[in-house]
Amino acid sequence: MQSRILFYLSTIILHLDGWAWGEILYNLSMKSPLSNFSIDLQIPTAVAVSGGVDSMCLLYVLSDQARAQGQTLYAFHVHHGLQTQADEWMGVVRDYCAKLNVLFDTQRLDAHTRQPAQSIEEWARHGRYHALADMARAHGIEQIVLAHHQDDQIETYLLQTQRGAGARGQAAMPESIEREGVRWLRPWLHVTRAQIEQYAHAHQIPYIHDPSNDDIRFARNAIRARLKHTPLTQAQRHEILNSIADAQAQLRTQQNWASEILRAHQVPHRAEIGECGRLRGIRLSDYTTEQQNILLREWLAQMGWRMPSRAALTELLKQLHAPSVDANMCWRCADGGAVTQLKNDWIAARILPTGQWFITPQLRERIEREQLSIKARAGGERFRLAPNRPSISLKHAYQMCGVAPMLRAQLPLLYRGERLVHVVGVGDVF
C-alpha cells in the first residue's frame, strides 16, 4: 500500500513540474538499481569508502545486505593527506560506520613514496589500492567492493581513447578482478552518477565533496567537466558502453593468446631472490610490434604489476631488442619492479631500496636458529660450491647460477663467525 501511494504521489508531482522530487519518490516506490545486486558476505568483505557520495551510498546499501545476511562488514578508508580537511573527512566516514554498525579501518599514505616522475593523481590512485590491499591482509578480507559507476566507466573509456590506448585501456574497468591476493568487485557499473545522487538525497546519506575533483588540470576531471557542460545523449552513452563491451571481448582474446605463448616459455622463478617471473627463449622478432606489446603487458599483468605507459613500454621493448648481458638494470617500473634480460631469459623482479636485503621468512628463521650474521659483499670473495671443487669468485658463482646482475646488490652473504657459509641465490658454500 505504501509503495502504491508513493507511486501515485510521484506521478502527481511529475505532472506539476516537480521533476526532481517526483523522480526521487518514484525511485523510492520501485526497487532501486543501487540495491539490485547481491554479494556473498559470507566471504570476508570490505567496502572502500572515500567519503564521497558514491562510496557512502555503497556503504549504506552493503550495510543493509550485511544485516540481512547476519554478516560482518568492514569499511576501509585511505587518508591521502592532500587536503586540509582530510582528517575531518575521515571522521565523517568513521562516524557513519559506527551508526551503521560497520567495522572501520584507515591507512594514511606517505607522500615521500611518490616517485619523481609520478603525477599526484597516479601516486594517489596506486597508493590507494596498495593501502586497501594492506588493510585487507591485516583483517583477513578476501574481497573489496568499489563504488565505481557507469559515468566513471565512460570517463575511463574516453580518457584511454584520448591517450591512444588499445583494447586493454578501452576495456575500462572490469566488474571483477583478482589483484594482490584480493578480489575487487564493482557492482555499480550499470548505475549512473545521477541515480546515486538521487539515492543519497532520498535516504539522507551524508557525504563530503573533494574540491580536487573540480581541478581540470587533471585529465579525468577535465573530461568530467566537459561532459557536465555538454551531457551525452542516451544514444551516445549506449554507443560507448557497446564499445567498452567490444574492447573487453577483444582483450579477453588477446589475453588468452598471450597466456598460451607465455606458458610455453615460463620457467620456475626463484622466490628466494625476489624473482616475480622468468621467461626463456622468446624471440621478439617472431612477433609484430603490437603483439610484442600484448605479450609484455600480459606478462606484467600476470605478476600484478602496474601497466606501463605506451612510452615506457616502447623503452622496455627497445632494451629487450638490444640487451646487454652484464647490464645492472634494463628497465625499472614506477612501483619498484624491474625487468632485465640475462642470456636467453627475461627476468622480472622486485627491487628493494638501497641498503636493504632480500631475506625470506625461511632464511630469517635459519639465521636466528644458527646465529648467523649478515654481511654485504666486500669484494674479492672466493669459495667452493662443493668440498672437492676449485674455488670461484662470487661474480662467477652468480653467473653460473643465473642470478641477474640487477638482483645481486640485494642478496646478502651469511657468515658463521668469520667463515662464509651461504650465498643467497647460490646456496651453501665451502
Q: Report the DSSP pairing between strands 73-79 and 103-108.
A: parallel
Q: What is the pLDDT of residue 189?
A: 95
One domain for residues 224 and 325: no
**Gap between the Cα atoms of 142 and 183, Å rounded:** 6
314: three-class secondary structure by DSSP: helix
Asked whether residue 75 carries a pLDDT value surpassing 90, the answer given is yes
Which of 31, 13, 30 lies closest to 22 in space, CA to CA? 13
Asked whether residue 150 carries a pLDDT value surpassing 60, the answer given is yes
One domain for residues 182 and 203: yes
Asked whether residue 17 carries a pLDDT value surpassing 50, the answer given is no
Asked whether residue 333 carries a pLDDT value surpassing 70, the answer given is yes
- pTM, whole model, 2 decimals? 0.71
**What number of helices (H) and strands (E) belong to the chain?**
15, 16
**Gap between the Cα atoms of 303 and 297, Å rounded:** 10
pLDDT in tens, 186-235: 999 999 999 999 999 999 999 998 888 877 888 888 898 898 889 999 99
pLDDT in tens, 284-297: 889 999 899 899 98
Q: What is the pLDDT of residue 302?
A: 85
Higher pLDDT, 329 or 311: 311
Q: Are 63 and 73 in contact (CB under 8 A)?
A: yes
Lowest-confidence segment of 11-20, 339-348, 355-364 by average pLDDT: 11-20
Q: Are 316 and 296 in contact (CB under 8 A)?
A: yes
One domain for residues 101 and 220: yes
Asked whether residue 301 carries a pLDDT value surpassing 60, the answer given is yes
Residue type, 138: A
Please compute the mean of the pLDDT values over residues 263-290 and round it to a whole number.
89
The percent of residues in the chain predicted with pLDDT above 90, rounded, is 51
- Block residue for cell numbers 551525452: 232
Phi then psi for residue 349, to 5 deg, are -155, 160
Query: pLDDT class for 21, splitting at 50, 70, 90?
Result: very low
Please compute the mean of the pLDDT values over residues 1-5 and round it to a whole number.
41
One domain for residues 104 and 203: yes
- What beta strand segments (E) does 49-197 contain? 73-79, 103-108, 143-145, 176-179, 182-185
One domain for residues 170 and 144: yes
- How many domains does the structure of the chain reveal? 4
Domain that includes residue 367, residue range: 361-428
